[in-house]
């Protein structure tokens, strides 16, 4: 071919209608509005002498004075901190132990155990607490069996240590994932060297492996502590019999039992929780390099020489299996049983008490029916919207020249540290003061959906970022050089390559949103109920059977969606990137 | 095919200066090479031209279009510059077929489907990749991917072509073939091209002109011969090919050059370069420019001819390499001739000497 036939002039590519800078600014402003937006009215509400919707009013620290003057509030803080510390201790130790067993030893069924151990954090948290309650609670099935029939003591889960145990089993996967990532990244040659120098395996573990894990342990501990401070279902479901109140349940009770509606002291308490959570997040960012926060799980493990457990192999395998059975399987079986019997008691065989009444309620009762439908709609639409929006924001954060792009990762991770009820209160106030828009959001399920989406969007980011980081930047530069603008390049080149992460994010968001409840407790109204909030409200009124059935609905949806996701997109491992 | 002007570009990353006052011009149809060690700022220069980096100061223009001007606050976005780029990693889009990769720039330009098809086939034929039209990148070898990357950069007739180490992922054999092929293609199409490499052989064999860079600064611009024979400074002399560096003091002048007293010895070196310099100097002499002969061989005599002790001789296939010492002066010499004896005579032609400092 000659130069003349090669040379042709082509039209210059046209600039896109919406310029990239407008898209970048729009995305950034929306992120700020969604994440910081609800916190501003909350802060404002905590500094006024009357609710935001009432005219007049002056700035005052009265709500804080009121709150700080209430000894019950300080008592609640004491309980919360004791609970959070115990939870953190148990979850971190347990998670690290399982991570070491699964990555460094020849324990039987390593892969399967590694997957199953992630399950608790993905299962509906409220449902699981209920499952614990019907099995191990005061008067629970196995409690009664052990105490009355076998005359053996059981751990009372309606005490602070018991509650911490329940929460620790839910959060253990976070510690497991963080440690597992650190271990598979770390070079095992140090350990091998020590072992060949004659050190006994236990020594190697205590002198080399565990010090190596220290950053991961600290990281996991801070996150678990932050998350457990926000626990709401546990004090409401397990704490009431012994009158153990946490900050979250204190705020919940004050709000729901208040003589004057929407007391400012609740906002003040929420602001205080928010400050604590923010301080912990900042601390965590200090502890970690920006990079270390996103280790890709997996990597080059497997090539390491595994420590042979010898005679301890089967006992240890049994121990982990036992743990899984008693903390995950048994509560689920309890829930399932509870949903089909009149009462659950060891005195009478369950099959003699079978009933379909509880499930019938789900079909007949308007509230329950609506809850299921609303939750399904919210989860589907919310997962789609969150995935799309977070994808856009992640691209702006990491693949654009936008001036404030570096603020986006922090902003998007922030809700991870924000307790769910605070997001709920924040949106409550935000909707109250935004006129027609707020009224519409308050009166429809979309208001709740938005709160759920914001609450869970950090996980979408955590899933997407590592995949994006692996897509070479030259690929999008090639697109730009070829004449495509920022958006066209993102749409035609980066997003298609990001597809697996987008699917994983969608699945994860769906599961998280369908099981979420605490942001909704201040937002639900007749007509906009969602499953989690209905379960909480109904349980507090003493309805256990239908609530168990509803929890089973959540469990089944979760398991089915996750298995579909794992089958289709092999996201079994990355689905658990909660750890980051 | 327009020319490229790069003027006084400064680029900083934090407090590190990646480019310090870089200027050069590339003539129409020329193959211009940026040569330098890793981290010297070659890619940064190229990416500034392409529009992926915005320098702190300077001006960049292609033909009559100013792409970047720090003073006038002009920065044309990358997608509006109409340049063809081949990246080091090729950056062939893995989710598109070869056809899809080439069609994308044309789709962006809103060509009709049949026009796209015809043009893609034409360019694929040019790079001899037509049979692979429907393959995905992972079904291609490295060399084939590289051709696809080049075809994709050519398909929309860009005004200039930018190549960032396009051969570094190829094995040695393939690399040599690819060089010849790209050079030929560039010549046929008459493309103004900037080529980035850290490989001096590549730079010397392919380029019309070379700019040698170090630590963010351009050290010398010239034809491959000029760069090689008349390195402007010590860095260029040492970076491009092997070199003997001889320190000395200017003691006189003559014949369009200077006479140098070689440091630490009684030898005098006549140099046909550096007229007008004085004081202490460094002279660069290429190993293959030095002549070796037997002690009794008097065919060359007089100036710049000294007796020397042979320390080692190595046979390297097409030539011998001698390490010799003429008094205290150590020299490396390359010669196709095997000269016997422990003591020999060496001659440095005055024309082969370049004053570098
Ligand atoms: N995005 C960036 N942020 C900070 N520093 C950078 C960035 N890009 C390049 N640098 C620094 O600028 C200098 C020049 O980099 P550049 O990539 O241009 O080198 P290069 O000559 O292309 O090297 P190589 O041959 O290794 O590709 C290097 O010191 C590099 O560390
Ligand atoms: Mg480079």
- Average pLDDT on A28-57 reads 86
- Residue range(s) defining the domain that contains residue A563: 356-580
B269 with B348, same domain: the answer is yes
**Predicted local distance difference test score (pLDDT) of residue A24:** 95
- Look at residue A12 and tell me if it is in a domain: no
User: Could you report the per-residue pLDDT of A406-435, keeping only the tens digit for each?
Assistant: 999 989 988 988 888 889 989 998 998 888
The C-alpha atoms of residue B73 and residue B56 are separated, in whole angstroms, by 10
Q: How confident is the model at residue A188 (pLDDT cuts 50, 70, 90)?
A: low
pLDDT in tens, A356-369: 888 888 888 888 99
pLDDT of A3 reads 55
Domain match, B189 and B270 both: no
Residues B260 and B119 in one domain: no
Q: How many domains does chain B have?
A: 2
B13 touches chain A (CB under 8 A): no
Q: Are residues A502 and A526 both part of a single domain?
A: yes
Q: Is the pLDDT of residue A448 over 90?
A: yes
Closest to A292 in 3D by CA, of A381, A219, A234, A225: A219
Query: Of the candidates B235, B256, B273, which is a domain's last residue?
Result: B235
- For chain B, the C-alpha Rg in angstroms (whole number) is 25
Classify each residue of A406-432 as buried b or exposed e, where b means 16 or more C-beta atoms within 10 Å of its C-beta: eebbebbbbbbbbbbbbbbbbbbbbbb
Q: Which residues on B lie below 8 Å from A1 (Cβ)?
A: 122, 125-126, 188
A93 is a domain residue: yes
**Number of domains chain A is built from:** 2
- Mean pLDDT within A237-254: 88
How much is the pLDDT for A552?
A: 92
**Domain at A252, CATH number:** 1.10.3720.10
For the segment B275-297, the average pLDDT, to the nearest whole number, is 83
Q: 3-state SS of chain B: helix, strand, coil percent to 5? A: 30, 35, 35
pTM: 0.86
Interface contact B152-A478, CB threshold 8 A:
yes
Is A296's pLDDT higher than 80? no
Question: What CATH number does residue B60 fall under?
Answer: 3.40.50.300
In a shared domain, residues A276 and A373: no
Q: What is the mean pLDDT of residues A242-265?
A: 84
Q: Same structural domain for residues B283 and B207?
A: no
Determine contact: A417 vs chain B, CB below 8 A.
Answer: no
Mean pLDDT over each residue of chain B, to the nearest integer = 88
> For B224-272, how does the pLDDT look when each residue is reduced to its tens digit (9 = 90+)?
999 998 888 889 998 988 888 888 888 887 767 888 888 877 887 888 8
Q: Which of B184, B206, B235 marks a domain boundary?
A: B235
Same domain assignment for residues B25 and B72 = yes
Q: What is the CATH number of the domain that holds B256?
A: 2.40.50.140
Predicted local confidence at residue A569, as pLDDT: 64
Find chain B residues with C-beta within 8 A of A6's C-beta: 122-123, 126, 154, 157, 189
pLDDT tens, A93-127? Answer: 999 989 888 888 888 888 888 888 888 888 888 88
CB contact (8 A) between residue B189 and residue A3:
yes
Who contacts A397 (Cβ-Cβ below 8 Å, separation ≥6)? A405, A406, A408, A409, A412
* Residue pLDDT, tens place only, B189-228: 889 999 999 888 889 988 999 999 999 999 999 999 999 9
Please give the residue range of the domain that contains residue B87: 4-235
Is the confidence at residue A292, as pLDDT, over 80? no
Query: Same structural domain for residues B130 and B217?
Result: yes
Q: Is residue A377 part of a domain?
A: yes
Per-residue model confidence (pLDDT) at position B357? 76
User: Is B308's pLDDT higher than 80?
Assistant: yes
In a domain, residue A499? The reply is yes
Res A77: pLDDT: 92
Would you call A3 an interface residue with chain B, using a CB distance cutoff of 8 Å? yes
| Residue A50 confidence (pLDDT) above 50 | yes
Q: What's the pLDDT band for A4 if we cut at 50, 70, 90?
A: low
Please, which pLDDT band fits residue B103 given cuts at 50, 70 and 90?
very high
Q: Among A76-80, A235-239, B327-331, which stretch is predicted with the lowest mean pLDDT?
A: B327-331
Q: Which of B235, B257, B277 is the last residue of a domain?
A: B235
Q: What percent of chain B has pLDDT over 70?
A: 99
Q: What is the pLDDT of residue A149?
A: 77
B323 strand-pairing partners: B312, B332
Q: Coil, strand, or helix at residue B273?
A: strand
Specify the residue with its C-alpha closest to ligand 1, atom 31.
Answer: B39
pLDDT band at A305 (very low <50, low <70, confident <90, very high): low
Question: Is the same domain home to B307 and B208?
Answer: no
Co-location of B49 and B176 in the same domain = yes
pLDDT-derived band of residue A187, with 50, 70 and 90 as boundaries?
low
B321, B203: one domain: no
Among the ranges given (A488-502, A563-577, B139-153), the one the predictor scored with the smallest mean pLDDT? A563-577
Number of neighbouring beta carbons within 10 Å of residue A443: 13
In a domain, A222, yes or no: yes
Find the CB nearest B105 among A7, A15, A483.
Answer: A483
Distance from the alpha carbon of residue B36 to the mean position of ligand 2, in angstroms = 10
**Whether B322 and B344 share a structural domain:** yes
Q: Quick one: A402 and A318 in the same domain? A: no
Contacts of B318 (CB under 8 A, 6+ apart): B336
pLDDT at position B289: 86
């Amino acid at each position: 071919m000659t130069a003349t036939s090669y040379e042709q002039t082509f039209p210059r590519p046209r600039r896109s209608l919406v310029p990239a800078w407008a898209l970048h600014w729009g995305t950034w402003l929306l992120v700020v509005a969604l994440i910081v937006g609800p916190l501003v009215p909350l802060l404002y509400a905590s500094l006024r002498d009357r609710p935001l919707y009432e005219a007049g009013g002056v700035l005052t620290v009265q709500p804080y004075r009121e709150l700080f003057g209430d000894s019950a509030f300080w008592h609640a803080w004491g309980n919360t901190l004791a609970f959070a510390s115990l939870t953190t201790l148990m979850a971190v130790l347990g998670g690290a132990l399982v991570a070491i067993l699964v990555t460094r030893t020849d324990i039987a069924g390593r892969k399967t155990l590694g997957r199953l151990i992630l399950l608790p954090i993905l299962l509906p948290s409220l449902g699981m607490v209920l499952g614990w309650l019907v099995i191990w609670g005061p008067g629970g099935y196995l409690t009664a069996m052990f105490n009355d029939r076998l005359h053996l003591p059981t751990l009372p889960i309606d005490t602070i240590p018991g509650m911490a145990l329940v929460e620790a089993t839910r959060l253990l996967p976070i510690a497991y994932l963080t440690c597992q990532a650190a271990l598979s990244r770390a070079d095992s040659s140090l350990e091998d060297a020590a072992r060949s120098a004659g050190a006994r395996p236990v020594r190697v573990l205590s002198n080399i492996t565990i010090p190596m894990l220290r950053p991961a342990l600290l990281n996991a501990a801070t996150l678990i502590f932050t998350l457990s401070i926000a626990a709401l279902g546990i004090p409401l479901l397990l704490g009431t019999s012994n009158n153990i109140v946490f900050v979250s349940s204190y705020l919940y009770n004050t709000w729901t039992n208040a003589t004057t509606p929407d007391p400012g002291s609740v906002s003040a308490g929420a602001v205080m929780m928010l400050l604590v959570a923010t301080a912990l997040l900042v601390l965590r960012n200090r502890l970690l390099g920006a990079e270390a926060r996103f280790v890709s799980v997996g990597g080059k493990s497997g090539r390491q020489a595994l420590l042979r457990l010898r005679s301890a192999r089967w006992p240890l395998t049994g121990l982990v299996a036992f743990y899984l059975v008693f903390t995950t399987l048994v509560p689920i079986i309890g829930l399932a049983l509870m949903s089909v019997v009149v009462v659950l008691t060891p005195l009478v065989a369950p099959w003699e008490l079978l009933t379909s009444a509880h499930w019938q309620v789900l079909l007949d009762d308007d509230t329950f029916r609506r809850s299921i439908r609303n939750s399904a709609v919210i989860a589907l639409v919310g997962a789609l919207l969150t995935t799309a929006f977070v994808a856009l924001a992640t691209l702006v954060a990491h693949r654009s020249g936008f001036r404030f792009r570096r603020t986006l990762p922090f902003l998007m991770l922030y809700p991870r540290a924000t307790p769910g009820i605070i997001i709920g209160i924040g949106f409550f106030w935000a909707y109250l003061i935004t006129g027609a828009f707020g009224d519409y959001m308050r009166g429809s399920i979309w208001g709740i959906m938005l709160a759920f989406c914001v609450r869970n969007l950090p996980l979408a980011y955590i899933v997407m970022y590592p995949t994006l980081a692996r897509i070479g930047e030259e690929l999008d530069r090639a697109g730009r050089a070829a004449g495509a603008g920022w958006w066209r390049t993102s749409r035609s080149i980066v997003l298609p390559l990001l597809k697996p992460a987008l699917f994983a994010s969608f699945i994860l968001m769906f599961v998280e949103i369908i099981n979420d409840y605490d942001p909704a407790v201040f937002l639900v109204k007749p007509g906009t109920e969602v499953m989690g909030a209905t379960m909480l409200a109904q349980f507090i009124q003493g309805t256990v059977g239908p609530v168990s059935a509803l929890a089973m609905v959540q469990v089944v949806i979760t398991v089915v969606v996750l298995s579909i996701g794992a089958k289709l997109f092999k996201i079994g491992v990355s689905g658990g990137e909660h750890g980051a | 095919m327009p020319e490229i002007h790069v003027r006084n570009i400064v680029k900083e990353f934090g407090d590190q200066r990646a480019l310090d006052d870089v200027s050069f011009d590339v003539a129409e149809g020329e193959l211009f090479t940026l040569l330098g060690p890793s981290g010297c700022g070659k890619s940064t220069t190229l990416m500034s031209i392409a529009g992926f980096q915005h320098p702190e100061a300077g001006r960049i223009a292609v033909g009559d279009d100013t792409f970047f001007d720090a003073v006038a606050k002009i920065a044309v976005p990358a997608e509006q510059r109409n340049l063809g780029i081949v990246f080091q990693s090729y950056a062939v889009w893995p989710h598109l077929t070869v056809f899809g990769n080439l069609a994308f720039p044309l789709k962006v330009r809103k060509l009709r489907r049949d026009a796209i098809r015809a043009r893609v086939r034409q360019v694929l034929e040019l790079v001899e990749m037509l049979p692979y039209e429907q393959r995905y990148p992972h079904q291609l070898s490295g060399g084939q991917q590289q051709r696809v990357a080049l075809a994709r950069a050519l398909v929309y007739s860009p005004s200039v072509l930018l190549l960032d180490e396009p051969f570094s992922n190829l094995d040695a054999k393939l690399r040599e073939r690819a060089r010849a092929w790209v050079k030929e293609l560039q010549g046929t199409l008459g493309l103004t091209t900037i080529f980035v490499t850290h490989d001096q052989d590549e730079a010397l064999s392919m380029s019309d002109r070379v700019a040698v860079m170090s630590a963010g600064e351009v050290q010398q611009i010239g034809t491959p011969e000029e760069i090689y024979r008349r390195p402007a400074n010590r860095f260029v002399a040492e970076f491009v090919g092997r070199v003997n560096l001889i320190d000395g003091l200017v003691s006189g002048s003559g014949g369009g050059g200077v006479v140098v007293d070689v440091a630490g010895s009684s030898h005098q070196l006549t140099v046909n370069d550096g007229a007008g310099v004085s004081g202490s100097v460094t002279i660069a002499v290429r190993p293959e420019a030095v002549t070796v002969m037997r002690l009794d061989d008097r065919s060359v005599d007089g100036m710049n001819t000294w007796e020397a002790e042979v320390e080692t001789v190595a046979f390297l296939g097409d030539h011998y390499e001698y390490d010799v010492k003429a008094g205290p002066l150590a020299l490396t010499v390359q010669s196709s001739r095997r000269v016997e004896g422990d003591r020999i005579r060496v001659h440095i032609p005055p024309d082969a000497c370049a004053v570098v400092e």
